[in-house]
Every structure is written in structure tokens, then in C-alpha cells.
Structure 1
Amino acid sequence: MKAMTINIDQRKKTKWKKVIAITAIILVIVSLLYTFAYLRHDSNHVDMGNRLAGMSLEHPLGTDHLGRDMLTRIWIGAQYTIGYSALALLASLLIGVPIGLLSGYFKGMIDRVFMRSADAFLAFPDTIVAIVLAGLLGPGIGNLILAITLIKWVNYARLVRSTVLAESQKEYIWIAKMNGLSPRKIVSKHLFPHVIGSVLVMASLDFGKVILLISAFSYIGLGVQPPMPEWGAMLNELRPYFNSMPQLMLYPGLAIVIVVLLTNLLGDYLRDYFDVKKEGKV
């Protein structure tokens, strides 16, 4: 039985070594292509005399309807799509994790207020709430990030709260309290390390969802506004040319799919690394 467990662990390690190697190779290729694109062309340079051009050495992925280099816009667009997604996710973590720690440890009025607020946000699907908030706040990436933050922080707060509630009943927490350790030190030294694994796993899996949200909202005009080369906004701009030059929409679409796939692989790796699935935390 022990030998079988060792073999399973070895297969897991081999599998994830291959995944990490492939991911590293993709990142190196992406970095080289990004450097090439950034140095050669301006992502917003309009050249109407060269619009809708095919692939060439000068424009490896061709040009769009305004003569802008597609390769450059794809790689520069990664800064906006991935960067704004990371910003929205970071804001959600900075709000949700502290609230979950406080709510789970101190309970009482803080916990009741949090639970009522969480129930209000969870009464409707995330996407519906995001659409309503983005529609009320108006188009713009700042408003979209705010809307995503308002719907995502609750999930992290609930996850952290449930973990802290379970850990708070264990003996080592009671011993720490009896030894006079302050609540701040108990939370930071004993409780926070127990929640960080689950939070990282959820964040890595959520990263792909946030990328899809930002791309989708930019596609319908509620997120990043043209001429910024965000992938969802690019899909919206190039939609009229889908029948004549479908590859123009294929490039940003593939970029979204690849990045989301990589974030899901990262989430699976972190879940195995922290053994979160086994513990039943996520």
C-alpha cells in the first residue's frame, strides 16, 4: 500500500514537472514575441494604406481594419487583459481575506453584519450582478474593476471565515489564548497560514474567470474602450470583418483561451501542492 502511494505521488510530480516545463517554454516564447512586437511597431499606429493586410515578415499576423499590426496589439493587449484582471482579483483579496479573518475569529456583530452582506451579494448569480453594477456605473475599465471586486470579495471572505471558524476550535488556539497571545498575533501567526493555501487555489482558478469577465464586458462595450488593444475590445472592433477575415478575431480569441487554460493548470497544481482537494476546503 505504501509503495502504491509512493508511485502515485511520483506520477503526480512527473505530471506537474511536464506541465511546468511546457508553461515555462510558452512564457519564454511569449516574452520573445512580445519584445519583438513592442520594439517594431506602435500598437495604435494607423496606416490606412496597409489595412487588412495578410501575413508578412513586416506584419507576422497581418494588420487590422485600420492598418495596425495585429501581433503588436495582441501582445500589448495582454498587459490590459491580464493586468486589469490581476488588479480586480488583488482588490477582491485585499477586501475579502481580512473581513473573513475578522468575522471568523471575533464572531459576534462583525460576523452577523458580514453574513447579511454576503447573503445580499450571493442572492443573484455573479454575472448578473456584474452586468447590473457595470450598467449602473457606466462604461469604463475602472467601473468594471469596481463591479468585479464587489462580487468577488464575498467568496474569499466566506472561504476564509469557514476555515478560521474550524481552526479556532482547535487546542493550539486555546493554548495560545491562555498564554496571553494577542488576537493580532493569533490571526497572523496561527490562522492566516491555514487559509493562504485555499485562498491561492481559489484565486488562481478565479483568475481565468475574471479574464473572461473583463473580455466579455469589453466586448459588449462596458469595459476597456477602443483604441486600447484589450482582447475583448479587439473582438468587438473586428466583428464586422469576421466573414471576410475570420483570423483577425481568431487571434485575440485564442489568446484568451490559452491564458485561461494556463491559469486553470496553475490552479490544479496549487490544489495538489497544498493538498486542498484532499482536505475538502475548495
Structure 2
Amino acid sequence: MAVLKMKIRKRNWKAGMLVMLLILVGFLAAYTFLFLKHDADMVDLNSRLSPMSLLHPFGTDHLGRDVITRIFLGAQQTVGYAFTALAAAVMIGLPIGLVAGYKGGIIERILMRIADAFLAFPDTIVAIVLSGLMGPGIENLLLAIVFVKWVNYARLTRSTVVNEREKEYIAMAKINGLSDGQIIRKHIFPHIIGNVLVLASLDLGKIILLISSLSYIGLGAQPPAPEWGAMLNDARPYFQSMPSLMIYPGLAIVAVVLISNIAGDYLRDKFDVKKEVQL
């Protein structure tokens, strides 16, 4: 009972921290877009490198553009791109893992050997090489990320399906005349979705870091796009004179990665059926 109470308190703490961070971000976004209403791309050299003020809470950059507006617009790009790449990786990896795990045999061996070939090299190195070969640009970067991330979801799905397909309730479903599609949809997929959600929530932070880091070295989003990694790159020459230009995008990246990790831990506890049964 004491262990169960500690587990519930841990979940409530994570959920409360996640809600507080989201409320803070929502308040800042509302203040920025409803009251300040700056044009993120408007150049004003007379206001370049301005310090914090009521009009510019985070100051302005080297071209006089409002930093807080670009931070929140950058969230649409950095986080939006990350969700896009993550969704594409899941949509590719999940069906492949389902087919490999449920069918087995030669199909499973072929698909898993292909997946093993992708895992032979670190995903970050592969993404950098592919982005360099295809040329700078956010579209090429997203393709490179999907190319290296789908494997994780294929292997996770396959292992879950293999674990479930030999159980008695699957045999009973086959005896009762259910088709393969019905068995997968009604009995196997519910076991997969929890594991995929946990991995996806933890992977989101990694993809955001990957997009930001490759944009920082010029392989991702290109100026004047308000992407956080590109903003860090633009602010490098002014780090000594105005370090806040690099601090704010860096804090935004840390905050989003922290939120995704807290969400991942919360989902992992929520879908951890085995521990709940033991308790």
C-alpha cells in the first residue's frame, strides 16, 4: 500500500509539473501575440540589440527583431517539425513491426535484417551524413530524421506483437473465427499503443535536439526562419556583448525537452501494467 501511494504521488507530481509548465508557456504566448503583436520578420536597425523592456520583454536581435515573438514562432517550427518527423517515423515503423511480428517466418527475418542494417550506425551520425549529402534545408533534415527513427518503432512493435501472438487469448480469437485484421485491431494494437506513446514522447525531445543542433551548424532551417537552432547560430557573434540572444533559444529547447521527458515518464508509469499487477 505504501509503495502504491508513493507511485500515485510520483504520478501526480509529474502531471502537476507538466501542467504548470504548459500554463506558463501559454501565458507568455498569449501576452506576446495578443498584446505585443510584433512582426517577427520586421527589421528595425534603430532598435537592434535592445535590452529587455515592456515593449520587448526578451529584447531585440542584431536586426532589431523582437526576440520573444521569434521564440514562440520558432516553437511552431521546431516543435512542429519534430512532431511531423515523429509521426512519419511511427507511421512507417509501426506497420512494418506489425507485419514482421504477426506473420513471422521469412518476412520477419527480412524486415528485421533491414532494421538491423539501419541500427549499425548511430542515428545522429547518419542524420548528419544524409543531411549533408542531400543539402541544407529543413525538408531534407526531416527526411533524414525519419530515415533513422522508424527502426525503433518497427523493432518495438515487432517485439510486442511476438510477445502477444503466442498467448491463449489470441488462439481463442482465431478459433472463434476472427480474421487477422480483427485480431490485430481488437487484441494486439491496444498492447502496442501504450509502448509506442511512451517511446514517442521520449523521442520527441531527442528529435527536437537533433533539429536544433543540425540547424545550428547550417544543415536545417535557413535564415530568416525563426527556428531555435538557427537563432542560436545567428546569435553566436553577439554572445559576449548580448548573451541573452543565445540564452533564450537555449532555454526554450531545454524547456520543451524537459516537458517531453516528464510526459514520457508519466506515460511510462501509466502504461506500466506489469508493475501495477504486482502491486
* TM-score bracket relative to the smaller structure: over 0.9
**Among 130, 135, 155, which residue is 1:133 paired with?**
130
In the alignment, what sits opposite 2:117?
A: 120
In the alignment, what sits opposite 1:205?
A: 202
Query: Segments of 4+ in structure 1 off by > 3 A?
Result: 276-279
**Among 153, 156, 172, which residue is 2:153 paired with?**
156
SS of aligned partner of 1:176: helix
Cα drift, residue 25 of structure 1 = 2.4
Cα drift, residue 140 of structure 1 = 0.6
Instruction: Indicate conservation of the 8 Å contact 1:197/1:276, yes or no.
Output: no
In the alignment, what sits opposite 2:64?
A: 67
Q: Which has the higher contact order (CA 8 A, sep 6+)?
A: 2
Q: Do residues 4 (structure 1) and 5 (structure 2) align?
A: no
**Among 34, 43, 65, which residue is 1:46 paired with?**
43
Separation in 2, partners of 1:172, 1:253: 50
In the alignment, what sits opposite 2:234?
A: 237
In the alignment, what sits opposite 2:172?
A: 175
Q: Do residues 77 (structure 1) and 74 (structure 2) align?
A: yes
Q: Do residues 249 (structure 1) and 249 (structure 2) align?
A: no
Separation in 2, partners of 1:6, 1:149: 39
Tell me which moved more, 195-204 or 22-31: 22-31
Cα drift, residue 34 of structure 1 = 4.2
Percent of residue pairs bearing the same amino acid type: 61
Separation in 2, partners of 1:204, 1:97: 15
Separation in 2, partners of 1:76, 1:116: 41
Cα drift, residue 17 of structure 1 = 4.5
SS of aligned partner of 1:225: coil
1:25 is aligned with what amino acid?
Answer: I
CA root-mean-square deviation? 1.7
Separation in 2, partners of 1:145, 1:152: 10
276 and 208 in structure 1: CA distance in 2 versus 1, 3 angstrom threshold: farther
1:83-141 superposed Cα distances (whole Å, 9 cap, x missing partner): 00000000000001111111100112321221111111100111111111111111111
In the alignment, what sits opposite 2:107?
A: 110
SS of aligned partner of 2:64: coil
In the alignment, what sits opposite 2:30?
A: 32
2:110 is aligned with what amino acid?
Answer: V
Instruction: Indicate conservation of the 8 Å contact 1:216/1:232, yes or no.
Output: yes
**Among 20, 23, 28, which residue is 2:21 paired with?**
23
SS of aligned partner of 2:42: coil
212 and 117 in structure 1: CA distance in 2 versus 1, 3 angstrom threshold: same
Separation in 1, partners of 2:22, 2:249: 21
Cα drift, residue 278 of structure 1 = 4.0
In the alignment, what sits opposite 2:218?
A: 221
SS of aligned partner of 2:61: coil
Instruction: Indicate conservation of the 8 Å contact 1:201/1:270, yes or no.
Output: yes
73 and 128 in structure 1: CA distance in 2 versus 1, 3 angstrom threshold: same
51 and 57 in structure 1: CA distance in 2 versus 1, 3 angstrom threshold: same
Tell me which moved more, 220-229 or 59-68: 59-68
**TM-score scaled by structure 1?**
0.93
Cα drift, residue 66 of structure 1 = 0.7
Separation in 2, partners of 1:112, 1:250: 48
Separation in 1, partners of 2:214, 2:274: 32
